[in-house]
A and B are shown apart, each in its own frame.
Chain A
Amino acid sequence: MSREMVLLIIGMSVVSLAPRMLPIGTLSRLEFPERLQEWLSYIPAAVLGSLLAMSILIRDKALAINISNQYIWAFIPTFVVAVFTRNLFYTLAVGIGCMALINNFL
């Protein structure tokens, strides 16, 4: 293992872990004001909305809102199953299954 690679990994480790661990370690004793708690309660929806939009509509580092973006086609049945079953496993099965069909046959 090269010395330079080890140093790089250590550096990356520090900047990757600090943002995850520091808030939990330092802020846990504080009681957040109600307004801040309400603000924080919207973060999951905002994060997931952003990540989902990116995972479907950004292909090869560029916005891809067109009919040749196959992820959009796989997303439609996946979303329908997610709404009606609210079940992680069924949604994954349908999403992955549709994508496999599209990748192999279209």
Chain B
Amino acid sequence: MDKKQETLTGIKDAFPVVLGYLPLGFAFGVLANNDAAMTVGEATLMSIMCFTGAGQYIAVGMIKEGAAMATIILTNFLVNLRYFLFATSLVPHFKAVPTRIATLLSYGLTDETYAVSVTHYARHPATAYYLAGLNLTSHLSWIGSSALGTYMGKLVTDTQKFGLDFALPAMYTVLLVLMINRKQDAIVAAVAALICLVIGGLVPGSLVNMSNVIIATLIGATLGVTLKK
């Protein structure tokens, strides 16, 4: 294994994630400053220590509404529960990575880094260097853009003008296409998508804590096992 090459591949694979995080992180910073009166230091610390896009947006919204600290933390717990599932599904890939390092680098596990890395692991073995390149680059872009957003605060620029609001949907599209290697994968993805939307439509609260994603994933994967090869 070429350590330098692995790290560079990780950094290169982080490119689309960074493209999505720059406007998202920036927007978080702007909201944190405008809506929740957070300082640059506070918003940056939150991005360093939490690295949870959905969770941080929720925190800002709830601070604005005057929610209790315990409520904000509990909602964040629910929003982040899906990572338990993601992380467990990565365990078989990390056999050759020292446990302590894999655990430490999982700090940077997000929807986006997960999607990119599982696509990579479908064709290449996992290494600590790849994971470090991907996760740390992604995290740095999140920290930097949210700090900048808080700093620029009131001078909100329109990220939609550049179509950047579609960066993450476009990334999910190609990653899903790359993930479909078996006929069963396509069925599982379609059924999970449907369940996720139905639950989201029936129980709007599930969209906030993303419990619909968890339920759809559990049902989808279980269906996959029962499908004929």
Contacts and interface: CB of A to CB of B under 8 A. Distances in A.
Interface in B183-229: 184-186, 188-197, 200-201, 204, 207-208, 212-213, 216-217, 220-225
Interface residues of B, number: 98
A62 B100 CA distance: 41
Contacts of A30: 91
Contacts of A39: 221-222, 224-225
Contacts of A10: 49
B146 to A, nearest CB: 13
B86 A82 contact: no
B225 A88 contact: no
A7 interface: yes
A82 B77 contact: no
Interface in A1-53: 1-2, 4-13, 15-17, 19-25, 27-30, 32, 35, 37-53
B94 to A, nearest CB: 6
B225 A97 contact: no
B87 A20 contact: yes
A68 interface: no
B171 interface: yes
B190 to A, nearest CB: 6
B59 interface: yes
Interface in B16-46: 16, 19, 38-39, 41-42, 45-46
Interface of B: 15-16, 19, 38-39, 41-42, 45-46, 49-52, 55-56, 59, 69, 72-73, 76-77, 80-92, 94-95, 99-100, 102-104, 106-107, 109, 111, 114-115, 118-119, 160-180, 184-186, 188-197, 200-201, 204, 207-208, 212-213, 216-217, 220-225
Given A23-B88, A82-B177, A91-B170, 6 more contacts: A21-B87, A32-B92, A55-B168, A62-B204, A95-B173, A103-B165
30 contacts: A2-B42, A8-B59, A8-B69, A9-B49, A20-B106, A23-B87, A24-B106, A25-B103, A29-B99, A40-B221, A43-B86, A43-B221, A44-B89, A44-B115, A45-B188, A45-B192, A45-B224, A46-B191, A47-B82, A47-B86, A48-B179, A49-B188, A58-B197, A75-B169, A86-B177, A92-B170, A95-B163, A96-B162, A99-B170, A103-B163
Interface of A: 1-2, 4-13, 15-17, 19-25, 27-30, 32, 35, 37-58, 61-63, 71, 74-75, 78-79, 82-83, 86-89, 91-92, 94-104
